[in-house]
A and B are shown apart, each in its own frame.
Chain A
């Protein structure tokens, strides 16, 4: 993030990265819980945590997608018009 960019853009990129990090953190928790629940199927508390976390993660992703475009393809994300799937930044550019 070069300094030349106007500060407004810094706020939006800052908001972009914080939102993305929250989604990433929640998804990691979901991965851990999925592995844990594989060996602890009756742990109802973990299942309840899994469901609430996945709900939060979906809400954050919806929020992200309204602001910055689709995260997933093949119908897992709504598309903007025109078809903005190909727009930058791609995951490795973020």
Chain B
């Protein structure tokens, strides 16, 4: 239900000396949509929690490197 990376087109001024940035993006991890964390969410094992960085898989977000996925060409969400 939650998409991770969202994109928007920043304003490009007519007198901007530098080449304009066409797309900007930001991460939307699950906790933004969660509000107050419910009780007894399913948990990872300790080792899995250490690897994924969260005790609850519901809160996991991969945080991919946006620059590996070039934002210049395509604009739609990239997981």
Residues in A neighbouring B46, C-beta threshold 8 A: 22, 25-26, 28-29, 53
- Cross-chain contact A32 with B39 (CB below 8 angstroms): no
Task: Determine whether B61 belongs to the interface, using a CB cutoff of 8 Å to chain A.
Answer: no
- B39, B47, B49, B55: residue with the most chain A Cβ atoms closer than 10 Å: B55
A-B contact count (CB 8 A): 32
Residues in B neighbouring A25, C-beta threshold 8 A: 46-47, 49-50
What bracket does the count of chain B residues touching chain A fall in? 10 to 19
Task: Determine whether A43 belongs to the interface, using a CB cutoff of 8 Å to chain B.
Answer: yes
The residue from A21, A32, A43 contacting B47, defined by CB atoms under 8 A apart: A21
CA distance A53 to B46 in the complex (A): 10
CA distance A24 to B47 in the complex (A): 9
Return the chain B residue nearest A24 by Cβ. Answer: B50
- Cross-chain contact A29 with B37 (CB below 8 angstroms): no
CA distance A33 to B49 in the complex (A): 12
Using CB atoms and an 8 Å cutoff, list the residues of chain A in contact with chain B.
21-22, 24-26, 28-29, 32-33, 36, 39-40, 43, 45, 53
